Structure 1
């Protein structure tokens, strides 16, 4: 087993799960992330609709072996009330941004009924404005 590569900070405020992610990530980091997200959602958000803001710093690229785990986590989050995701790339000019968005779209395709809406933003203010417009 390898050590986790990539890290994150998670907080919850007003029915929004905030994630600050620093990548790239390997499977071990994704497994740790899965565990912590489930704990935070269970303690703070389950029982009513909630949203998520993910700010990506650096290259948010995942190793291919972590994608199935993240797809399963995505479906669990939706079952636990997740309705909207705002994704912010801190450096949209980074060469890895296109790859990251493609990987995220693969993860979100685990939701074939589109029960959760996701959008990409350039900054936190735009993401918060969108979430306020949909009730958060």
Structure 2
């Protein structure tokens, strides 16, 4: 087993999870993130919840991380994740992962209403979430 490479921070504010991703992730960091999001979102299961993902400083990840990330998002959607605002101010190729699985049934159950949008700044992301009826916590206002 290797030590974790890369960094993430995951904080829950009411029914919104805020994820900040940085650096280049290896499998150990990805597994730690997976366990953390399962734990922090468990209290939200059965009700709609939202994720704000700041990924401007996230770099590449090792190949074995991709299926873990896909499974993590799939499980989050099954457990009530309805909206995700991705913030990527640097515009890079790392968004391919999110586009790659966008329409595949492997990724989303057609009966679950899940929407993801990419933004270049937090303000635009928050405006979109508000327009979608998300009660944005005071920490983001």
Q: Same fold (TM over 0.5)?
A: yes
Distance 1:116 1:62, change over 3 A: farther
* 1:33-86 CA distance string (max 9 Å, x none): 00000000013x222101110001423322211111111111110111001111
**Is the alpha carbon distance of 1:78 and 1:130 closer, same or farther for their aligned partners in structure 2, counting shifts above 3 Å?**
same
Which residue number corresponds to residue 106 of structure 1? 100
Give 1:89's aligned residue. 88
The question of whether the paired residues in 2 share the 8 Å contact of 1:6 and 1:26 is answered with yes
Tell me, in whole angstroms, the C-alpha distance in 1 between the residues paired with 2:25 and 2:101: 14
Contact map agreement 1:24 1:58 (CA 8 A) in 2: no
Segments of 4+ moved more than 6 angstroms = none
Alpha carbons of structure 1 residues 107 and 12: separation in structure 2 relative to 1, 3 Å: farther
Cross-structure match for 1:28: 28
Q: Structure 1 residues 21 and 123 mapped into 2: Cα distance closer, same or farther (>3 Å)? A: same
How has the CA–CA distance of structure 1 residues 30 and 41 changed in structure 2, closer, same or farther, with 3 Å as cutoff?
A: same
Q: Assess if the C-alpha contact under 8 Å between 1:52 and 1:84 holds in 2.
A: yes
Pick closer, same or farther for the CA change 1:88–1:18 going to 2, 3 Å: same
Question: Would you say the 8 A contact 2:16–2:50 is kept in 1?
Answer: yes
Unaligned runs of 5+ in 1: none
Maintained 8 Å contact 2:21/2:58? no
Segments of structure 2 that go 5 or more residues without pairing to the other structure are 135-141
User: SS in structure 2 opposite 1:119?
Assistant: strand
SS at match of 2:108: coil
Matched, 1:71 2:70: yes
Residue-pair matches, total: 130
| Secondary structure at the counterpart of residue 74 of structure 2 | helix
Within 2, Cα distance between the matches of 1:60 and 1:51?
23
